[in-house]
Structure 1
């Protein structure tokens, strides 16, 4: 994205000489004219979509300084870092806003369901044998194992049975009679954290809050609604090398 935006800024500046003084053509006389004009239009649309806050005067000044390599206000080597940090931050802000809007919409439709799941977790954490971690993950040790615990980057082989708090089964390797293999850093946060607590041969029961699962996002084609607490019985068969 950064490299593209740099190219976009340069392209826009080519057709945006200071004070609007440039040779304006009324027609496209050949293929190069057509391609050049099309590239300019495309870049203009891209910059409008990605950088509405552009200061046109400094934008043009930067282009000219870069062309003649004089009077530069920044070191050329620093430019990629500056742009990358800025647009990463803008993207994070945009994603945060989208998530907030999604949560607000989901709460309007599933507010009571969210309260029901929160109440379940509040009551569940007071039961004998239930341990609650700092993140809010709850678990019960059904059987301990032996050996080394896996790491967040480990690939593991497990058997599991997943339900909602009302007992609805949404996924089960046990019912399929086929263990599953996956990397712990490629699954929901509750699994990444929980399975690192286990040793091979162990069997735990996890109660995963929605914040550590799918949050306000519904799972298409399945029973998992926004704000669902997920309940898993997991047996860690082995850490794969």
Structure 2
């Protein structure tokens, strides 16, 4: 007659990231509703996007470095990052981006603005990232491709 251990894995953890089950349910509901919008296109990978402004400049490839303005949100509207109200843009290589942005950015041209809804399996998946992006969280990126640096 052994004693059962009480194991609460979430004891002491922040709730800001949301639990896996809660995030998964919110994500699935949001993706389902979003794909029904008339301006939203969904790729075979599950990436959803809506072009806000067509670009006319260079188009990046998998080896490009890009300079972007971006607003990153959770599906509940929580802002993770916003460079639109900053003096500096973000610069990174396509290679180091999450899979959803690797795919999406290569469809854009300089000067274009697109909203990407990135499902968890094309973002940080079941592990989340930091203290703001929980497990199974979809992310919304409002991106303006400012410059392609090859």
Relative to the length of structure 1, the TM-score reads 0.53
Aligned ranges 1:1-150 → 2 under 5 Å: 109-150=19-60
Q: Relative contact order, CA 8 A, sep 6+: which one is greater?
A: 2
Runs (4+) off by over 4 Å: none
Deviations 1:176-218 (A, max 9, x none): 3311111001010111110101000000001000000000112
What residue ranges of structure 1 are gaps of 5+ in the alignment?
Answer: 1-108
Q: State the superposition RMSD in angstroms.
A: 1.2
Partner secondary structure for residue 190 of structure 1: helix
Which structure has the bigger radius of gyration?
A: 1
Tell me the matched-pair count: 132
Deviations 1:152-191 (A, max 9, x none): 1111111000110111011122233311111001010111
1:157 aligns with 2:76: no
Residue 158 and residue 216 in structure 1: after superposition, are their counterparts in 2 closer, same or farther (change >3 A)? same
Aligned ranges 1:212-227 → 2 under 5 Å: 212-220=122-130, 222-227=131-136
**Does the aligned pair in 1 maintain the 2:49–2:115 contact within 8 Å?**
yes
Partner Cα separation in structure 1 for residue 89 and residue 58 of structure 2: 20
Partner secondary structure for residue 84 of structure 2: helix
Bigger strand share: 2
Which of 106, 111, 116 is the aligned partner of 1:206?
Answer: 116
Bigger helix share: 1
Partner Cα separation in structure 2 for residue 147 and residue 169 of structure 1: 28
Map of 2:99 onto structure 1: 189
Relative to the length of structure 2, the TM-score reads 0.84
What residue ranges of structure 2 are gaps of 5+ in the alignment?
Answer: 1-18
